[in-house]
Structures are given as C-alpha cells and as structure tokens.
Amino acid sequence: MPGSLLTDTESFIETAITVARESGQLLKEIFGRKREVYFKGEIDLVTDADLRAEELIVKTIHARYPEHTIVSEEKRSRTGLSPYKWIIDPLDGTTNYAHGFPWFCVSIALAIHDEPVLGTVYHPLLNQLFWARKGAGAYLNEEPICVSATSKLRYSLLATGFPYNIHTEPEPAVSRFKKFLTHSRGIRRAGSAALDLCYVACGCFDGFWEANLKPWDTAAGALMVQEAGGLVTDFQDRPFAPAMPEILASNGHIHGQMVAVFQEERAG
C-alpha cells in the first residue's frame, strides 16, 4: 500500500512546497520579458523559462532524494527502479506565459507505485499555493478547501482545454464544447489544466474535462480534487489514473450529468 512507504511525509511535503515556490518565483521574476521560444509541435511551445524552472526543480529533488525517479515534461528526467516517482510540470500554461497572459503555474506531484500521494500547484502571480496529501485533505495556502455544492449541470460553471491537435482534428473537442455549452451556465478555457483542476477543488469551477493530456498535466490537480471531496474519472466514468489521456473532474454532484453529456455526444 502506498501509505506504508510514505514514511517521510513532512519532508516530502516541505520539499514539494519549497521547490514549487522557488521555481514559481523564478517564473514570476522573468515574466513579461522577451522569451526564447521553441516549438515542440505546430502550436506546442517551450520557453527558456520552462527549462530554467525545470532545472531548479529536478536538481533540488535529486539532491534530497537521489534514488527517486523523476518524470518531467521537458525531459530533464531521472529514471530508476524506485517506487517513488516525482511528476513535474515546471510551467503549465507555457503558451499563456510566452504571450504575457498571467495564467500559469508550477505543478509537482509525488506518486508511489504510480499512485499520486501528494501534490502542489503554485500560481506565483497570485501567490496561490494549492497542496494536498492523500487522506489528509486539500489546501489553498493554509486554508482547507472543498468542492462546490452545485447539484445541477445547468447552473454549473465548467472549464476545459483544447488539445494540441485541435488544428488537425478539431471535431471531437468542438463537439464536446458545443454539448456542454448548451447544458451549463458557462465554460472557461484559460489554458492550464493544473489550475483548472485546483479551481474545481476550491469550488470556483463545478467541473472540468480535457483530452490528450499527460501525467504532469493532471497528477497533482486530480489529487487536489479528490482530497477536496470531488470525483475524478475518464469520460466514460472509469476510475482515473495519471497515465490516462483524458480526465473528467467535478464536485461529484454533477458528475453523472457530465458523463451523460459525453454519452449523448458519442451517440451523435
């Protein structure tokens, strides 16, 4: 059981929080300056800020836990056979960051045997540090958070994101967006899956969905929702794991209604 290996809880949490704040401060200090931007795909960007933040995070974790595995979006990873795996997105919302749009974060999770047991998500411009530990709740800075009480999808504010293949395969994302647009109060598409999940966890959003994601996009945020009392699955209501490419997160009350919309969309 993962909990039996979580013998150094305070050290793990302190490390995750400290390095999230330090890398977030780095991103904040250089935000708005002209950036070196590279293309991983047609619209998938990476900046020198991503790489600098990643280097800081990876070096710190490796220095403290040299035997642990590290998986990071920009590939400065460290492999091994350890059951401990740190899952890192040094800058979630890179396109926003590159354009000077102030909506981005650092996301760090620790998984044991591939099950996330703690996570931090830090929005440096708002000084919002979301953190959670499995079985111990979710927090925004020092205050406990919980999901919303909204019980009807019609009155819900939802969030989503569009995949990087939207230019070549727009129909699935557009079809789902249209369906939820007619079933909800509104939808926001801000460009950071990790922050969207945290905003579900703290009750600002009632639900979130997105496809074609990676573990570093969702590992910390999904745990945040679960520890705040919400529900996280795939689009077909199967239990979620970070390796899954799609995620549906909600306050739990509207989850079945959101699954029904996906079923309606698949039926044509």
Predicted confidence (pLDDT) per residue in 214-230, tens digit: 999 999 999 999 999 99
At 36, the pLDDT band (50, 70, 90 cuts) reads low
Pair (29, 50) in one structural domain: yes
Pair (38, 67) in one structural domain: yes
pLDDT of residue 34: 64
Pair (13, 108) in one structural domain: yes
Predicted confidence (pLDDT) per residue in 175-228, tens digit: 999 999 999 999 999 999 999 999 999 999 999 999 999 999 999 999 999 999
pTM above 0.75, yes or no: yes
pLDDT of residue 133: 96
In the chain, the percentage of residues whose pLDDT exceeds 90 is: 79
Q: Nearest CA to 248 among 135, 120, 153?
A: 153
* CA quadruple 142, 25, 104, 68: dihedral sign: negative
Q: Which of 144, 179, 209 is the last residue of a domain?
A: 144
Pair (207, 93) in one structural domain: no
Q: Which of 84, 117, 144 is the last residue of a domain?
A: 144
CB 46 within 8 A of CB 66: no
Pair (11, 119) in one structural domain: yes
- At residue 38, does pLDDT exceed 60? no
Pair (139, 183) in one structural domain: no
- At residue 267, does pLDDT exceed 80? yes
Pair (184, 135) in one structural domain: no
Pair (173, 114) in one structural domain: no
Pair (216, 199) in one structural domain: yes
Angle separating helix axes 171-183 and 255-266, nearest 10 degrees: 130
**Structural domain span for residue 231:** 153-266
pLDDT of residue 37: 60
Pair (35, 100) in one structural domain: yes
What 3-state class would DSSP assign to 247? strand
Looking up residue 232, the CATH number of its domain turns out to be 3.40.190.80
CB 118 within 8 A of CB 131: yes
Pair (135, 164) in one structural domain: no
Q: Which of 74, 109, 144 is the last residue of a domain?
A: 144
CA 234/CA 250 separation, integer angstroms:
11
Weakest mean pLDDT among 1-5, 114-118, 192-196: 1-5
Count structural domains, the chain. 2
Q: What is the mean pLDDT of residues 245-251?
A: 97
CB 43 within 8 A of CB 95: yes
Pair (188, 258) in one structural domain: yes
pLDDT of residue 48: 86
CA 237/CA 152 separation, integer angstroms:
18
Environment class of 133 (CB within 10 Å of its CB; exposed 0-12, middle 13-18, buried 19+): buried
